Structure 1
Amino acid sequence: MALARSNRAPRTPTPPKGETVARYDTYLQAQKAVDHLADKAFPVQMVTIVGTDLRMVERVTGRLSYPQAAIGGFMTGAWLGLFVGLLLTLFSSPGGTSPFLPSILIGGAFGLMFSVLTYSLSRGRRDFTSTSQIVASSYAVLCHAEKAHQARLLLAEIGGVESGWPGRPVAETGTEVVEGRGDPQDRPGA
């Protein structure tokens, strides 16, 4: 009995394997390409999306002040208090008072206090809020060599396909070689 190949990601950082079958400007386009392959019953476990030329992008979402820090801290603490209150409610006696509301208020108060304290210690070095993400300049879709040609054919329907060979060879007559790697014995009439 043969064991099936594992579809798990490698445990250690490992470069991706396979041929580049297509390249796209955005992750959504690459995702759409893999979805297209899945729709055509292609074995997508042989496909990898690789982002190249990575950069961290931090988008500033607004200005930060003491009131905003206090409100954000209270809300975060209240969510934690809600969770603790639910746990305490589950393990409290049925006839006793519910710790639900007090735990939300205590959690909110501690969140507010820690948020304002942290903001005051920053001394104005970071008076803004932001979100960060890693963005690539392009996304390549790689496929195992044994299925790369089939993937290229399927992706030709939506675009972005790259040639399987670096620089298509041109025959001496000026016509493009359709099959083969461009070896002289593969060229027509050679």
Structure 2
Amino acid sequence: MTPTLQHPTTAQRVVASYPSYAAAEHAVDYLSDHQFPVEHVAIVGRGLHSYEQITGRLTWARAAGYQAIGGAILGAVFGWILGLFDLVNPLVSGALLALNGAIVGAVIGAILGGVAHALAGGRRDFASVSAFRADSYDLLVDDTHAEQAAHLLSASGQSVER
């Protein structure tokens, strides 16, 4: 069962602020290692900024390749399902249908990827990865546990900004 994010019912306050998420995560790990009830802690990014790292130029071949991979996976899954339920021919195995589906899906995906790239007319002809960055990461702790967390973090020798 996956835990769900819930809004705190009690007031929280900032116990520490860190320049990176990894540093804030390290502080929570430290608290956890010292039997602090970390279910009362939240890491909040302040000053969020959208960040997009350009990974390269998107050529016709690269666009077709990306779509061919996606089409091959989709075609393989579709072919496997047809084989699994014997929907095509009971004598044809699911693996063979998955292989044929992957080939057909790759060809169709490559054609559609190339056409989409050509129709874009040079707009957005690069590949990128998007993310969010924060200026700082605050450790918020429920008021009832904030003093204990602050004391533990101060004793750890970690740089703690308030």
Normalised TM-score (structure 2): 0.86
Q: Deviations over 1:132-151 (max 9, x none)?
A: 00110100001001110110
Q: 1:45–1:62: structure 2 CA closer, same or farther, 3 Å change rule?
A: same
Q: 1:158–1:74: structure 2 CA closer, same or farther, 3 Å change rule?
A: farther
Tell whether the 8 Å contact from 2:18 to 2:161 is kept in structure 1 after alignment.
no
Q: Which runs of 4+ in 1 moved over 3 A?
A: none
Q: Which runs of 5+ in 1 are unaligned?
A: 1-6, 164-190
Tell whether the 8 Å contact from 1:82 to 1:100 is kept in structure 2 after alignment.
yes
Higher relative contact order (CA 8 A, sep 6+): 2
Q: Deviations over 1:113-168 (max 9, x none)?
A: 221121111100111100000110100001001110110111120423345xxxxx
What's the counterpart of residue 54 of structure 2?
60
Normalised TM-score (structure 1): 0.74
Q: Percent identity?
A: 36
1:111 and 1:143 mapped to 2: Cα distance? Answer: 49
What's the counterpart of residue 153 of structure 1?
151
What's the counterpart of residue 82 of structure 2?
88
Tell whether the 8 Å contact from 1:58 to 1:133 is kept in structure 2 after alignment.
yes
1:146 and 1:160 mapped to 2: Cα distance? Answer: 23
1:116 and 1:17 mapped to 2: Cα distance? Answer: 54
More helix by proportion, 1 or 2?
2
Tell me how many residue pairs correspond in the alignment.
Answer: 154
